[in-house]
Amino acid sequence: MAKIVAGGVHYVLETTGNAGMLLLTMQVARKRGSAAFFTGDDVPDSVPRGMKVLHVIEGDSVPQIFIPRLITLYQRGKSPFEGLLKFYDFNDITRAMKDSLSGKTIKPVLLMNNIGSV
């Protein structure tokens, strides 16, 4: 990491909840850096001194304003979020969960169109 960013990064956004990535967040942030965790309750117990931590649950946006803005940005090519998504047939739910936990997939999306009848 020192070869890439000497002294660490100013800001880290952790979105996976993967234990290894949570630890890496602490390692790559600089001494007075900030980390935002978007992963529910899986925030490390100990945080390095001087580090600012923000625990985000469901964001702080107003959906009626934020979602139309996101759509506009996407339409203008300014927010190519499809790189964050990976689609799985519902029958592959176990694979989707494993890929999410390992960090292989940022946001697994389950397709419900091939579900057999119960």
pLDDT digits (tens, 9 = 90+) for 39-57: 665 566 666 677 787 777 6
Q: Tell me the whole-structure pTM to 2 decimals.
A: 0.46
51, 33 Cβ separation under 8 angstroms: yes
Does residue 13 fall inside a structural domain? yes
Does residue 86 fall inside a structural domain? yes
Examine the domain organization and report whether 46 and 82 are in the same domain.
Answer: no
Three-state secondary structure call for residue 85:
strand
CA distance 84 to 14: 13
Phi, psi of 16 (to 5 degrees): -90, -35
Q: Which residues pair with 46 in a beta bridge?
A: none
Domain that holds residue 26: 9-55
Does residue 2 fall inside a structural domain? no
Mean pLDDT (the chain) is 80
H or E segment and range at residue 9? strand 9-14
Does residue 1 fall inside a structural domain? no
Does residue 62 fall inside a structural domain? no
Q: What is the mean pLDDT of residues 54-80?
A: 80
Examine the domain organization and report whether 86 and 48 are in the same domain.
Answer: no
H or E segment and range at residue 35? strand 29-37
For the chain, the domain total comes to 2
Does residue 96 fall inside a structural domain? yes
Answer yes or no: is pLDDT of 118 > 50.
no
